[in-house]
């Protein structure tokens, strides 16, 4: 169980997709994100030197692309019941995953706040059958 928390004094515009990444996809997401950031860094280094805030825009784009890439890979994986790992949050940001195997996960939420695309992220470790409550507050700037 959990809730996606918008920045202070702002509201989330539905829909918000919440993705639970098992270890193999968490690692794939991390490595894909790093590759994208490295490529963008080399390509846009002069622009970053002139406009530091441009890095945040490029970083957000890299996070979005890595997330889309991993979702596509998860959908194509026949050994993975993808629908168990992707949920739409309710209008108030609540979500719930059931019967999650024990292990370490990255949890992502993709949505819109105002007119800005936003990605929230956190780590989660499922160690037993007792439900855990997750507040997704940390978002990519």
pLDDT tens digits in sequence order for the chain, 141 residues long: 899 999 988 999 989 999 999 999 999 999 999 999 999 999 999 999 999 999 999 999 999 999 999 999 999 998 878 889 999 999 999 999 998 999 999 999 999 998 899 999 999 999 988 888 999 999 987
Structural domain boundaries enclosing 94: 2-136
Residue 58 corresponds to which tokens in the numbers above? Answer: 């490029």
What is the pLDDT at residue 59? 95
- Count of domains observed in the chain: 1
What is the pLDDT at residue 131? 87
Nearest 5°: phi and psi at 55?
-60, -40
Task: Establish if 69 belongs to a structural domain.
Answer: yes
What is the pLDDT at residue 83? 87
Helices assigned H by DSSP within the chain:
23-50, 53-76
What is the pLDDT at residue 20? 97
Task: Establish if 111 belongs to a structural domain.
Answer: yes
Task: Establish if 141 belongs to a structural domain.
Answer: no
How does DSSP assign 30-67, residue by residue?
Answer: HHHHHHHHHHHHHHHHHHHHH-THHHHHHHHHHHHHHH
**Predicted structure pTM score:** 0.90
């Amino acid at each position: 169980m959990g809730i996606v928390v918008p920045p202070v004094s702002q509201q989330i515009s539905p829909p918000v997709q919440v993705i639970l990444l098992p270890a193999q996809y968490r690692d794939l997401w991390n490595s894909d994100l790093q590759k994208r950031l490295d490529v963008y860094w080399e390509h846009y280094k002069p622009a970053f030197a002139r406009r530091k805030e441009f890095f945040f825009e490029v970083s957000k784009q890299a996070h979005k692309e890595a997330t889309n890439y991993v979702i596509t890979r998860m959908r194509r994986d026949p050994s993975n019941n993808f629908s168990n790992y992707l949920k739409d949050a309710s209008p108030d940001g609540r979500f719930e995953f059931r019967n999650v195997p024990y292990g370490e996960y990255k949890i992502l939420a993709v949505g819109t706040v105002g007119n800005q695309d936003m990605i929230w992220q956190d780590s989660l470790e499922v160690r037993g059958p007792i439900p855990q409550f997750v507040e997704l507050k940390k978002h990519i700037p």
